[in-house]
Amino acid sequence: MENNRSAGLRRRVAREAALLLYTSQEKEYKQAKSRAAQTLGMRILPSNAEVAEELDEIAEEREGPSRGERLSQMRKEAFQIMAVLKAFHPRLVGSVWRGTAHRNSDIDVITFSSDHNAVLDSLVRGSFRVVRAEWCSVTKRGRKESSFHIYFVLSSGNKVEVVVRSPEKMSFLGKCEIYGDVVRGLSYSQLQRVLKGNPLQRFVPT
């Protein structure tokens, strides 16, 4: 009985956190969970995966069939971007890779180059209108890591973030903070196969 009650409370917090993320009131899972728990007067915190599951349900409920159409479009747009960046070994990651994208999702692409300006120039030559480009640093396992981030908006209104990492990081597969699995993403050729075979294919742990 106690386990059922605990599970119910976790789901309430997860649902509230997911709603905060879906409506863009919060951008990060950690902050969304803390705010949701505070709003509901609870101390229990769900896992990121539990929040992601609720977020997926909310998106499905609110967007219906248009959600699949949007995902297919975003993957096609990602493919076009990756074609321009083919020399930099692009990989599609994030919710568009996972197949869990919703109306507020961005297209996330990782590239690898020792010259971030070369990636930036390729996008400009490809007629993508860059709105911002900057260095970002994060600390992982006590080590500071930097990468170059390029932001632009497509004619469809979809937002894109292209990250430029050192070529040394090409073989490194990071751990997903949401699902806990390895972030493999999709290469240009892999995305091409997905678009031909099953444009709505999902890549989430079962």
User: What structural domains does the chain harbor?
Assistant: 2-63 (no CATH), 66-197 (3.30.460.10)
pLDDT tens by residue, 92-135? 999 999 999 999 999 999 999 999 999 999 999 999 999 999 99
- pTM score of the predicted model: 0.91
**Contact of 152 with 107, CB cutoff 8 Å:** no
**Contact of 55 with 18, CB cutoff 8 Å:** yes
Partnered with residue 162 across adjacent β-strands are 109, 150
C-alpha dihedral (57, 160, 91, 105), degrees to nearest 10: 0
pLDDT tens by residue, 24-45? 999 999 999 999 999 999 999 9
In angstroms, the CA 173 to CA 51 distance is: 23
pLDDT tens by residue, 41-95? 999 999 999 999 999 999 999 999 999 999 999 999 999 999 999 999 999 999 9
The backbone torsions φ and ψ at residue 33, rounded to the nearest 5 degrees and listed phi first, read -65, -45
In angstroms, the CA 106 to CA 110 distance is: 13
Q: How many other C-beta atoms can be found within 10 angstroms of the C-beta atom of residue 9?
A: 16
Class of residue 13 by CB neighbours under 10 A (exposed 0-12, middle 13-18, buried 19+):
buried
